[in-house]
Chain A
Amino acid sequence: MLKELGDIESSDLNIEKLKNWKADKFLCDLIMSKPTTLSREETEDWLYRNKVDENQEFKGLFLNDELVGVARLMFINKEDSIGEIGLYIGGENTRGLGLGTMALNQLEKIAKDKWGLNKLYARVLDTNISSLALFERQGYFREGQLKSHYRSIITSEWNDIIYLAKFI
């Protein structure tokens, strides 16, 4: 089983997956993003803009060469030496395979070796138990909890946002 981070090519299959994930309200709710319905061209444009963003490291999660998720270092601030981690796995039957662990390890390496960052952080919903467990297993510690800070688009209930961080 080959698990790796890599650049996302604009193949029909990849674009279709990204398009679907961006419209998936359950996935979007988990990562606190608004679901959007994009055309193929708009999705390609979105992919391109993220790839060329100077303050971001935008990667795909691949399982046996198949795109199954997105992993990114966002809002990279070179002056403050910090970056935010964004991570989601959209592929079916891909949970519990160590993809998240692999992605975090790779992102941390990129953050340190390529960007010279000192600290990584993430914002995770208190209901996203598997993500919280992943980050805490990887040595991230809690820096705070913003209560009732995000209203779910699925349930309309307010959830807390947990701030997690790691010095690398």
Chain B
Amino acid sequence: MERAYKVLNQQVFEEGDYKLVPIRHEDRYEIMRWRNEQVKVLRQKGVLTPKEQDYYFDTVVNDLFSLKNPKQLLFSFLKNDVLIGYGGLVHIDWDSLNAEISFLLDTELMRPETYTAFSNIYFPLIVKVANQANLKKVYTYGYDLDSFRFLPLYKNGFELEAYLHEHVQINGVYKGVRIYSFMLC
């Protein structure tokens, strides 16, 4: 069943073989699997169970489609209609008109060359979503791990606004957090 965000006039955002569609219920277990595989680099406490994921999708995600100004706009990211990732705009501040971009790729695609290629499609698409939602600014909040995660941001016009030193522990080592942003027209 296709769902629609009230705040958007357009629901599907396409670029060649790729598209963002409002997050699909049937994608929830695949998303759960990726989140659990990549839990160390996410702001997620512990692994998700199918029951927890069902509850999240049946309550939090479902509610997003009934709200005029939801806190999140989540999308399934497809290539040739096959799910390869998901993400969207989260922590949306409708007063200050900004939102954080979230993005998670299929774990098997988390290699520098594939991540870079897919990011260079994804980021422009999500900026289009933000423009549709009449937001003024989008930003990313990511752990300072591999440089390949950040290079696509520079390529797509994002600027580093903050570097939070030793802000998170991963595998017992302190890492920084990078905040990049993009001002919309």
Contacts and interface: CB of A to CB of B under 8 A. Distances in A.
B169 A143 contact: no
Nearest to A162: B162
B179 A144 contact: yes
Given A143-B162, A149-B96, A149-B137, 11 more contacts: A34-B95, A81-B169, A82-B167, A119-B167, A121-B167, A143-B164, A144-B163, A145-B162, A146-B139, A146-B162, A147-B161
B136 interface: yes
Interface residues of B, number: 20
24 contacts: A80-B167, A80-B168, A80-B169, A81-B169, A82-B167, A82-B168, A118-B166, A119-B166, A119-B167, A121-B167, A143-B162, A143-B164, A143-B165, A144-B179, A145-B162, A147-B183, A148-B137, A149-B96, A149-B137, A151-B95, A158-B136, A163-B162, A163-B164, A167-B166
B150 to A, nearest CB: 15
* Chain A CB within 10 Å, residue with most, of B137, B161, B174: B161
Interface of A: 34, 79-82, 118-119, 121, 143-151, 153, 158, 163, 165, 167
Contact residues of A: prevailing secondary structure: strand
